[in-house]
Structures are given as C-alpha cells and as structure tokens.
C-alpha cells in the first residue's frame, strides 16, 4: 500500500457535473450545487459550474452525475503502528478501509500492542510515540489521529499537562485500564478537558482482558466527551439504559459496527426522538475480535437508514460533519476552507433502488467510484464495495 507525503500538494482541481452533493451538514444535508473547486488541498468554491472559476486546473474530474460526499470518518478505531494490526495479524487494513470511503480515523486507544505498557511513564511514552508516528505517516493517505493513552490509577493532573504539551489530544477508552470507578474517571476526564484532551468512555460489557463492565451510572458520572460504542463493544447495556444515556447526557452518542445492532438502531431512534441527531457519530471499533471491517461505516449508514428509517442523507452526516464538529476536524463538510477529502458514490449495479439514496434506504451498500484526500486521488473504483453504476472520469495530471 502507498504512503502519501503529507506535504504533497494537489494544485487546482475542478470537480464538475456532480449529480448529488452531500454536504455533511445535518442542518442542510444536500447542497444545490454541481461543482467544487479545490486549490492545494482545500475547498475554495462550491456552487454551479457557470459561477465557478474553472481556469488553470491541473486536474478535472467529471463526476458523471454521481454523488460527492465528504470523506467518511471512523470515530473509533484501535490502530497500533503503521498499517498492521496484531489483533488479527493483518496488514493493509487501513488501505482496505480507504476503499470503503473512509479518509480519517480516530484512535480510541492503541490497546492491541503486544506488551502494552501500563505503568504511567510507559503509557505516556506509548501515546506520544503513536501520536508522532501517525502525524508523520499516512497509510495510503488516510489521516489517522492516534496517541490515545489508556487511563491507569495513580495518574495525576501533571500527567495530562505533559501529554497535552507533547501533542496528545485524545484519551483512549476510559475503562479499558484500571480506572473504572465513576468518581476516579470523572476527575481524570476533567483534567484531560482542562488541557484540551478529548475523552471517550467504554460503554457496556468487557471487550478485552483487563476491561470490565462500564454501566450507565459510571458513564454519566465520568461525563466523558464521547459515549464510546453506546451500543456495546461487543456487549451492550440494555436498551432502556442506552436510551437513558441519550436522554440524560449531552455528550456525543457514538454508534459502532462491532456492537449490538438492535441497540444501535434503538440509540439512533432515541437521538431522533430527542431531537439531537447532531450528537450521533459512527465508528467501527475495529480492528477487534470480530476482525477488520473495510466497509463498516458504509454498512452502518445502510443499516441505520434502512432499519431505523432515518433519511440516508442524514445518516451520511453522522459519519462526516457530525464527527468533524465534535472532534474539531477540518474535514467532514463540503464548504469553503475545509480539507478536500471526498468519496464519490453511486448506487450499486442492479440495486432495487432507483437512486443512490433510495438504494441505501432499501438496505444496500453504495458503490465507491473514487476517494480523494486533500484533493489528491487515493483510489479509483473500490475493490471492496459492489461496483458503482457510474464512476467519475479524470483528465489532466493526477
């Protein structure tokens, strides 16, 4: 798999003839536009072709009336180093996920590293190392935000200050280490927040040796920024307790592929009923015991749209703009100034749906025709999705 130099520039890119422009913004999920202009990896224009400056483009992409969507964001992954996971002894899992339309991944802890250090000096060193390595290295161009330490008893405020000063901005899942009591977690979450470090809490039954049950009362007391895998990873709390979390907490509601599907649907419905769909974000929680899921985010979009009866264009926002805003990312939305991370989609060949959105509402996975990161083409027709009915046509240098 290829690795992209982070400083590589796209030049000017024009994407025209877009049939459906999915914005990622849940307040306005579909834009009335057919053209996007990119310069050096950032979106500079979104509008109709007649109103956009198309001159001087190094790359022109004819979308062939297919859909353009922000690159999908996996809010919950467990990377280790590079594009290898020891959990399944598998290489290339990030590259495969790129072919599922994912352009950004967020670590919930590098927990699968063999011999993972649990002493305070060691866990800080691992977090800083993971943050540094993925800041310098993008497997197949995918942006991996890593370096998420697992909390252990005995950590003090100074530890969080040092982590923040070293560039660490995430906590691994609270509850995967020795910190499992609500009062202890609450103090550490508050220290992390003070120094600009975002927190995620494990929700549900144990997933790996050393983890344990984190029930609704611990989740509410800890008050982490993200209710991690609210539908369990793997084992879920009861539907009643999950819905109570949606109602009593104001934090992000993270629904994952590697959890209880019935409860995933219940959580999404609860968010809709509570009129807080902007809080819902999606992840895979992989690699894990159930493996790697290259199409995990697309499968979640299809499942929630078809079985929770949520419009597909809204569910795409769960996996893009919602996550970008909650995670403070400069991607996930198609608007001027944002990173030009895109996935080109069309209905799968021979789906029963007449349009892309209808096919997803019926439960089918769309076809990926192309993926771009920072305005650079990272893959053409996906090797993992069903073949898209139409795919973009590229001219110029790319």
Q: Report whether pLDDT(296) > 70.
A: yes
Residue-wise pLDDT for 297-348, tens only, equals: 999 999 999 999 999 999 999 999 999 999 999 999 999 999 999 999 999 9
pLDDT tens across 347-383, in order?
999 999 999 999 999 999 999 999 999 999 999 999 9
pTM, to two decimals: 0.96
Q: What is the pLDDT of residues 253-271, one digit of tens each?
A: 999 999 999 999 999 999 9
CATH number among 3.40.190.10, 2.30.40.10, 1.10.10.10, 1.10.357.10, domain 12-70+333-396: 2.30.40.10
Per DSSP, what are the bridge partners of residue 352? none
| Chain centre to alpha carbon of residue 385 | 18
State in words which class domain 72-294 has.
Answer: alpha beta
Q: Are 309 and 100 in contact (CB under 8 A)?
A: no
Phi, psi at residue 47, to the nearest 5°?
180, -155
Show the tokens assigned to 266: 């219940």
Q: pLDDT grade, residue 133 (50/70/90)?
A: very high
Size (the chain), residues: 398
> What residue has token string 């800890």?
222
- Residue 193, pLDDT above cutoff 70: yes
Write down the domain spans for the chain: 12-70+333-396, 72-294
Q: How far apart are CA 390 and CA 392, in angstroms?
A: 7
C-alpha span between 345 and 358 (Å, rounded): 13
Residues 357, 252: Cα–Cα separation, whole Å: 25
Tokens 């084992």 belong to which residue?
235
Mind listing the pLDDT tens digit for each residue in 20-43? 999 999 999 999 999 999 999 999
> Is residue 322 reached through a cis peptide bond, with omega within 30 degrees of 0 on the bond before it?
no
Q: Give counts: helices (H), strands (E), the chain.
A: 11, 20
Strand, helix or coil at 271?
helix
Q: How many CB atoms lie within 10 A of CB 309?
A: 12
């Amino acid at each position: 798999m290829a690795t992209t130099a982070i400083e590589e520039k796209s030049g000017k890119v024009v994407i025209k003839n877009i049939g459906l422009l999915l914005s990622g913004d849940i307040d306005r999920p579909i834009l009335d536009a057919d053209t996007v202009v990119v310069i050096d990896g950032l979106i500079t224009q979104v509008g109709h072709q007649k109103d956009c400056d198309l001159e001087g483009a190094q790359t022109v992409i004819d979308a062939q009336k297919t859909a353009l969507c922000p690159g999908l964001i996996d809010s919950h992954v467990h990377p280790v180093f590079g594009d290898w996971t020891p959990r399944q002894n598998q290489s290339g899992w990030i590259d495969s996920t790129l072919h599922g339309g994912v352009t950004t991944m967020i670590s919930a802890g590098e927990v699968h590293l063999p011999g993972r250090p649990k002493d305070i000096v060691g866990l800080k060193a691992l977090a800083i190392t993971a943050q540094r390595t993925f800041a310098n290295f993008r497997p197949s161009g995918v942006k991996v935000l890593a370096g998420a330490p697992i909390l252990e008893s005995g950590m003090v405020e100074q530890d969080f200050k040092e982590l923040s000063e070293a560039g660490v901005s995430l906590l691994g899942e609270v509850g995967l280490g020795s910190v499992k009591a609500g009062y202890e977690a609450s103090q550490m979450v508050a220290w992390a927040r003070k120094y600009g470090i975002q927190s995620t809490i494990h929700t549900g039954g144990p997933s790996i040796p050393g983890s344990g049950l984190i029930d609704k009362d611990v989740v509410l007391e800890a008050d982490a920024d993200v209710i991690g895998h609210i539908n369990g990873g793997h084992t879920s709390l009861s539907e009643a307790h999950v819905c109570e979390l949606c109602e009593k907490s104001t934090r992000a509601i993270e629904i994952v592929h590697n959890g209880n599907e019935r409860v995933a649907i219940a959580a999404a419905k609860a968010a809709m009923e509570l009129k807080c769909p902007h809080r819902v974000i999606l992840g895979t929680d992989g690699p894990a015991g159930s493996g790697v899921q290259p199409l995990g985010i697309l499968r979640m979009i299809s499942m929630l749209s078809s079985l929770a009866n949520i419009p597909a264009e809204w569910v795409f926002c769960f996996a893009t703009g919602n996550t970008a805003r909650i995670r403070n990312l400069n991607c996930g939305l198609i608007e001027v100034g944002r990173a030009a991370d895109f996935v080109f989609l069309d209905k799968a060949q021979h789906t029963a749906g007449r349009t892309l959105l209808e096919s997803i509402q019926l439960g089918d996975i769309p076809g990926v025709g192309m993926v771009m990161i920072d305005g650079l083409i990272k893959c053409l027709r996906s090797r993992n999705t069903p073949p898209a009915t139409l795919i973009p046509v590229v001219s110029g240098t790319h």
